[in-house]
Structure 1
Amino acid sequence: MKNTRSKISLIALTLCIALATEMSAQKLGSFGSLTEKTVGPKTVKVPYTDVITYLGYAAPGNEDATVDGKKFYYFYIWVPAVAPELGLRMMSPAGDTKKIKGAIKAADFDANAGSEDYFDTYITLERSDIVSKENLNEAAVSKAKWVILERNDDSSEMPSQPSGSNYNSLLRYKSEVGNPTKALTVGLYRVGFTTYKTGEVNGTFLAEVAAPIKLPGVAVAKTLEELNNQLK
């Protein structure tokens, strides 16, 4: 009886490890836009045609701001043309990124790519009042006004985290053409991210910024210096 119980325990442990490995290795599927089409008996979202992948790492003490008691981290987006819609999704940990081509990486990502740490992602898409590349500097950005266009905490469309919880995030934002403060026009945007629960943000992440049309000249970077280098 003891041997039987030991075998059962070993099998259960093996299954748990296999399940955890499978979850941590899950990949993102197609990133669908707000536009839908009918395919047979199903209604599906039409995939975004322009997708930029950003790989980053967040560590305690490196936050950019504290907002309502939460430690926020940011990365910037330069949008070079009027866009009808933007999509944003983030998962942590970043998982196996070896086969991802053309991704933009934060300076500290490779050194921490093997980290098993991850966080409950909470994301915001924010637009500034900066509309000229000449103002992409610390002095101008420090005085910029930011408007939160959309935010998201948990999305059932995203892969589960290694814990099995659906704590990864996804949002889609449609431009409000008649509202100057909420239209997706040329300018500087940023992604803010933190953890939903009060506490430290720690771990790797994969983020995707997407549009339903090609936006030649779009740039994504952690710092304004990196952003300017991409735009040269």
Structure 2
Amino acid sequence: MASTVIKPLLPLSPSLKHNLPSFTPWISCKPISDSMTYCLPNLHFSRQQGQVAVSVAFNPSGNFDISMFEEEDDSPKVDPPLPPTKGRFEVVIDNDVIRRLDLSPFQSATGIASPLSTEPKEFLERTIGFTINYTKEDPHDIRELSEFPDIRLWFVRLDSTYPWLPVLLDWRAGELARYAAMLVPHQMSAKMGLVFNPEALELFVMKKAFTVYTWLKEHNIPKPRLKTCDMARMLGFGIGDELFDLVDKNPLSLP
């Protein structure tokens, strides 16, 4: 049986193709509707000292210049995220909440008290976003919010409690990219935006695909494959149908 793989969606530039290994062809999921395509981050691949760098065109500071090199100024530009979706569930956290690893603001804002009793439909329609009111100890600290260990730890606890949360976020406003930045190793680049560790990002996407697909099916959400594919595409990855076929053929027997 052929192995199941996920691959970056966007093609390599001609100047980089010869530096990277070839990949097994894959079958992509159905494309996101035209109204969503502008949200799809561009990925760029390069070989730098033996490493492959992946750049996602989202930067919490608002910088969206993702040219890999200063002389290459003709790379595709990505529109900034849209304003927050009207009527979304807004989770507001501050230093005190973060310091105490307190998830109650999330529970109060969304009404999700138990991860086992959540009905996805309303949240899929309204979406969820975060307002982070974080006061830095040093006002001259230039780090982005996703680079502060205490903020990231709060999101790690949130994600471990609600592992299917990424599918409910306000994707159009950039919430999925920021959420991933809290959980996936990355660096900030003025030219490339948010630069993820490629293997870590792929593992994150795969783990969330398994979790989200199963969760949507359990709640009888229509087209769970398409919704899961859309989520992966927002981070620049495509998932073949063969992966979902394997999951369906080998369901888990939960205690």
TM-score by length of 2: 0.24
Give the structure with the larger strand fraction: 1
Higher helix share: 2
The structure whose RCO (Cα within 8 Å, separation 6+) is larger is 1
Higher Cα radius of gyration: 1
- What TM-score, normalized by structure 1, do the two folds share? 0.25
